[in-house]
Structure 1
Amino acid sequence: MEIGKEYLRVVMERFISVKRLGDKTLNQLSDEEIHWNYNTESNSAAIIVKHLSGNMVSRWSNFLTSDGEKEYRDRDEEFVDDTTTKAELIAVWEKGWRVLIETLTDLSEADLLKYIFIRGEKHLVLEAIERQMAHYAYHVGQIVYVGKQLKDNNWKSLSIPKGKSEEYLKEMLERHQDK
């Protein structure tokens, strides 16, 4: 087994898993709810999506050959809630993920030990991938939290529903015994 290839496979699965959490949350929110925020210091789902997408396009475009903070990126504009519809927001969301996934798919095991720059700071590719994973999981977690607040009793759980842990564990054990 080649550890670098296995790492790239696993990290791709993790990014896709994080994306699915965001997808499932955004699917539960209405056009109005994507713009809700608790107060002026908190961000709506729409703003978080814009920020994530802006970061992804900047970081993952020309990943191995240019600084991850592109000159064209306007990070401050990402925090302006100017998307009008959920469909528009989903297009922004998908654009960022598409750039990330295409770039990650093209990486080789040898690329993991190369150096790239983010805001002039040198990072191993491996380190940069982990940095972005933590950043995206953090923000998708915020989107999920906002979704739970908004949907309350109408929230459709993204994992094991409350009070169903034993039932889930039993089901998983039975499933794996059959293999």
Structure 2
Amino acid sequence: MNVFVAEYRRYRKLLEGALAQVSDDNFFRRLDEQDNSIAVILNHISGNLLSRFTDFLTSDGEKPWRNRESEFRVEGMTRTALMEKWDRAWKVLEGSVFSLGPQEMQKVVTIRGVRFSVEEALARSLAHFSYHVGQIVYLARHFSGTAWEYLTIPPGQSEQYNENPDKEKGI
């Protein structure tokens, strides 16, 4: 279980490091009409985590109360409200997943009626989460321009980093 916990935490650190560098205007800004804003992506991953991990072992991961389509509309929402939703989603993830033991990893859960081992469901969730965190980091870096503070290895510092590769473990 530690592998999943460490990776979720590592991506959370990247996500929140990127969000900290974005103004409120850029939080809601889209590159064009077809693209999602950081706010939309955060709303979507929050909704996804809330649905997947509420009653994780005992109910389908696609909850009847989830309205996935509404996650892509943030008009009238505030950054504060979206950050509160993100905090709730993280707490649900932590409470449902971070204490699972080896026996629970072999259990079966369903997502949209499809059966997955807990391990498979977590791998899928982590891939989805990291994909969207990457989108947020990319947008935040784009909007921050030269003020961007690197969240991973800065250009020209690979050798120095390789002497103590602490970021690989989310430290």
1:148 to 118, 141, 155: 141
2:83 paired residue number: 90
1:47 to 37, 40, 63: 40
Q: Deviations over 1:113-149 (max 9, x none)?
A: 1111000001011100000000000000000000011
Computing the radius of gyration from Cα coordinates, the structure with the larger value is 1
TM-score by length of 2: 0.92
1:77 paired residue number: 70
1:3 paired residue number: none
1:24 paired residue number: 17
User: Hey, what's the Cα distance between the residues in 2 that align with 1:120 and 1:31?
Assistant: 38
1:130 to 100, 114, 123: 123
Q: 1:83 to 1:127 in 2, by over 3 A?
A: farther
Q: Which structure exhibits the higher relative contact order, with contacts defined as CA atoms closer than 8 Å and separated by 6 or more residues?
A: 2
Q: 1:83 to 1:108 in 2, by over 3 A?
A: farther
User: Hey, which bits of structure 1, 4+ residues long, moved more than 4 A?
Assistant: none
2:110 to 117, 141, 166: 117
2:169 paired residue number: none
2:168 paired residue number: none
Segments of structure 1 that go 5 or more residues without pairing to the other structure are: 1-7, 174-179
Question: How far apart are residue 96 of structure 1 and its match?
Answer: 1.0
User: Hey, what's the Cα distance between the residues in 2 that align with 1:83 and 1:52?
Assistant: 19
Alpha-carbon contact 1:114-1:125 (below 8 Å) kept: yes
1:64 paired residue number: 57
Segments of structure 2 that go 5 or more residues without pairing to the other structure are: 166-171
User: Hey, what's the Cα distance between the residues in 2 that align with 1:110 and 1:82?
Assistant: 43
Question: How far apart are residue 106 of structure 1 and its match?
Answer: 3.3
Q: Deviations over 1:81-113 (max 9, x none)?
A: 235433222112111111111111232211111
Question: How far apart are residue 64 of structure 1 and its match?
Answer: 0.7
TM-score by length of 1: 0.88
Alpha-carbon contact 1:83-1:89 (below 8 Å) kept: no
- Aligned letter for 1:30? S
Alpha-carbon contact 1:58-1:69 (below 8 Å) kept: yes
Q: How much is the aligned-residue C-alpha RMSD, in angstroms?
A: 1.3
